[in-house]
Amino acid sequence: MTGRRATPAAPGPPDTGTASWRTICAYDDLPPERGVAALLDGAQVAVFRTHDGSLHALDNLDPYANAQVLSRGIIGSRGGVPTVASPMHKQVYDLRTGQCLDQPELTVRTYPVRCRDGMVEVRCPS
């Protein structure tokens, strides 16, 4: 989270109405290749910044462990898929879809996320 980025990340999904997008922090507050948790109307969202600067947002709840911890997992890749591993019992999730790659019955919700003017925005569940 130290050091400034000269260019912000690639643009996120198209803007479908500003009302539901919520700013959570500055892009530079996101540590590279790690996650943070954000509180959005009582929901906990895990926001990740991968090595290429792109952003992903998932439910923070690890459905296997039933604990709000996914944001603290290790970021990586499996066969080209960007992933996070739960810090609890190490199940690996696809950051793009929320699908668990180790136990197919597990999925977590994804959220649209983008970077605007150096700020990270997550679209709120409505």
Partner 1 sequence: MKLVVVGNGMVGHRLVETLRARDARGGCDITVLAEESRPAYDRVRLSAWFDGEALELSCVDGVTVRLGEAATALDPAARTVTTAVASYSYDALVLATGSSPFVPPVPGCDLTGCFVYRTVDDLHALSAYAQAGSGPMTGVVVGGGLLGLEAANALRRLGVNAHVVELAPRLMPLQVDEAGGAMLRRHIEELGLTIHTGRMLQRVDGRSGRVSRVVFADGGVLSTDVVVFAAGVRPRDDLARAAGLTVGARGGVVVDHAGRTSAPDIYAVGECAEIGGRVYGLVAPGYAMAEMVADRLLGGDATFEGADTSTKLKLLGVDVASFGSTAGPLDVTFTDPATRVYAKLVLSDDAKTLLGGILVGDASAYATLRAQVGLPLLSTPLALLAPAGDGGVGANLPDTAQVCSCNAVTKATIVSAITGQGCADVAAVKECTRAGTTCGSCVPLLKQLLTESGVAMPTALCEHFDLSRQELFDLMRVRGITTFSQLIGEHGRGRGCDICKPVVASILASITGGYILDGEQASLQDTNDHFLANLQRNGTYSVVPRIPGGEITPEKLIVIGEVARDFQLYTKITGGQRIDLLGARVEHLPEIWRRLVDAGFESGHAYGKALRTVKSCVGTTWCRFGVQDAVGLAVALELRYRGLRAPHKVKAAVSGCARECAEARSKDFGVIATENGWNLYVGGNGGFRPRHAELLAVDLSTVDLIAIIDRFLMFYVRTADRLQRTSAWIEAMDGGLDHLRSVIVDDSLGLAAELEAAMTRHVASYADEWKSTLDDPDRLRRFVSFVNAPDTPDPSIAFSTERDQPVPLGRASPARQQPVLVGMPR
- Of 55, 57, 58, 85, the residue at the interface with partner 1 (CB under 8 A) is 85
Does residue number 42 form part of the binding site for partner 1 (CB under 8 A)?
yes
CB contact at 8 A, 121 and 113: yes
Q: Which residues lie closer than 8 Å to 52 by C-beta, 6 or more apart?
A: none
How is residue 59 written in tokens? 């439910």
Does residue number 38 form part of the binding site for partner 1 (CB under 8 A)?
yes
Instruction: Give the other-Cβ count within 10 Å of 13's Cβ.
Output: 9
Does residue number 31 form part of the binding site for partner 1 (CB under 8 A)?
yes
Contact residues for partner 1, defined by CB under 8 A: 1-2, 23-25, 29-34, 36-40, 42, 44, 47, 50-51, 61, 63-69, 72-80, 82-83, 85, 87-92, 102-103, 106
